[in-house]
Amino acid sequence: MHTVRVIPCLDVDGGRVVKGVNFVGLRDAGDPVELAARYDREGADELVFLDITASSDARDTILEVVRRTAEEVFIPFTVGGGVRSVEDARGILRAGADKVSVNTAAAERPELVTELAAEFGSQCVVVAIDARRSESAPSGFEVFTHGGRTPTGRDAVAWAVEAEQRGAGEFLQTSMDRDGTRDGFDLEMLSAIGVATAVPLVASGGVGTLDHLVDGARLGGVDAVLAASIFHFGEHSVAEAKAHLAAAGVVVRPAAG
């Protein structure tokens, strides 16, 4: 049985959740661990923490978040943002994360994917691919780095194929055209990556409604759907999202009763 995972994403800056979180009943809406525990209770299958801390001297704060999360939350979680080396990844995994996600550093130096897979195993290595539509890229999709600001000239599908050969265990595919728009996933982009690769694929970028989650989950080759704002603002709980997916015929782990 193939089930689709539902993954809330938390952006963390200096150890605090950013991108407005608006929940009734949280003691501290900025505490990533408290929010993670809430999503766990609602039936989240997995969590992604994206560390967007700009200053390097504040980066150790994410390790403290990981350590505290590992004490409170017993579902898988991935940590990404600023992972540039095997040692960066080791620190995150030893603190209790299950997977690390690499993005800019891997696009700049693809050997990083090979090194991480050799050291920790592919199951720990998520390659995040931020891409935009581009007429210059053969597949029509180009990899962007540095939070979607910097074009790389690298074709997104070709990069996914290379990253898989280097040992990527999962792809986190974000359309930077759609990210933040709430217009829904870029289904063509997801399909292009899904057809070309065989490892699990997480769809990201643009979710504004529960139907958008269904659109992504129904697409062949997609194994998980990730969203941030529809969960953070309390518009929809993870349990509602799963009930909506199940009603549309998508097999999901039922939210805890």
Partner 1 sequence: MTRGGPSVAVLDYGIGNLRSAQKALQRVGADARLTADPTDIAAADGVVLPGVGAFGRCSQALEASGLTEVARAAALDAGAGGRPFLGICVGLQLLFAASEESPGSAGLGVLEGTVALLPEGVKRPQMQWNRLDHESGHAGHPMFAELGDEPWVYFVHSYSAPVDGDTVATCEYGGTLCAAVARGSLWATQFHPEKSGDTGLAVLGNFVAAVAA
Catalytic residues, by residue number, are 11, 130
Please give the Cα distance from 155 to 42 (Å, whole number): 37
For tokens 């930077």, name the residue: 176
Q: By the 8 A CB rule, do 49 and 65 touch?
A: yes
Q: By CB under 8 A, name the one of 3, 61, 114, 209 that touches partner 1.
A: 3
DSSP character string of 68-109: HHHHH--S-EEEESS--SHHHHHHHHHTT-SEEEE-HHHHH-
Options 9-17, 53-61, 147-155, 196-204: segment touching partner 1 (CB under 8 A) = 196-204
Q: By CB under 8 A, name the one of 26, 37, 75, 246 that touches partner 1.
A: 75
**Residue 29 CA: distances (Å) to CA of 7, 15, 145, 174:** 19, 12, 29, 25
User: Is 11 among the residues that bind partner 1 (CB under 8 A)?
Assistant: no
User: Is 30 among the residues that bind partner 1 (CB under 8 A)?
Assistant: no
If the CB atoms of residues 74 and 233 are measured against partner 1, the closer one turns out to be: 74
Which of 2, 7, 3 has its CA nearest to residue 231?
7
Which of 108, 140, 150, 141 has its CA nearest to residue 127?
108
For tokens 């529809």, name the residue: 230
Options 31-39, 91-99, 130-138, 158-166: segment touching partner 1 (CB under 8 A) = 91-99
Q: By the 8 A CB rule, do 167 and 147 touch?
A: no
If the CB atoms of residues 6 and 10 are measured against partner 1, the closer one turns out to be: 6
Query: Least distance in Å: CB of 1 to partner 1?
Result: 5
Query: Least distance in Å: CB of 228 to partner 1?
Result: 21
Query: Least distance in Å: CB of 171 to partner 1?
Result: 12
Options 116-124, 137-145, 179-187, 228-236: segment touching partner 1 (CB under 8 A) = 116-124
Site string for partner 1, 33-72 (x = CB under 8 A): -------x----x---------------------x--xx-
Q: By CB under 8 A, name the one of 97, 131, 213, 238 that touches partner 1.
A: 97
Q: What angle do CA 36, 38, 43 make, to 5 degrees?
A: 95
User: Is 88 among the residues that bind partner 1 (CB under 8 A)?
Assistant: no
Q: By CB under 8 A, name the one of 86, 95, 161, 248 that touches partner 1.
A: 95
User: Is 80 among the residues that bind partner 1 (CB under 8 A)?
Assistant: no
Instruction: List Cβ<8 Å contacts ≥24 apart for 228-231.
Output: 228/8, 228/9, 228/10, 228/11, 228/19, 229/19, 229/180, 229/182, 230/182, 231/8, 231/39
Percent composition of the chain: helix, strand, coil (DSSP 3-state, to 5): 40, 25, 40
Catalog residues that contact partner 1 under the rule CB under 8 A: 1-3, 5, 40, 45, 67, 70-71, 74-76, 93-98, 120-124, 169-170, 198-200, 223, 253-254, 256
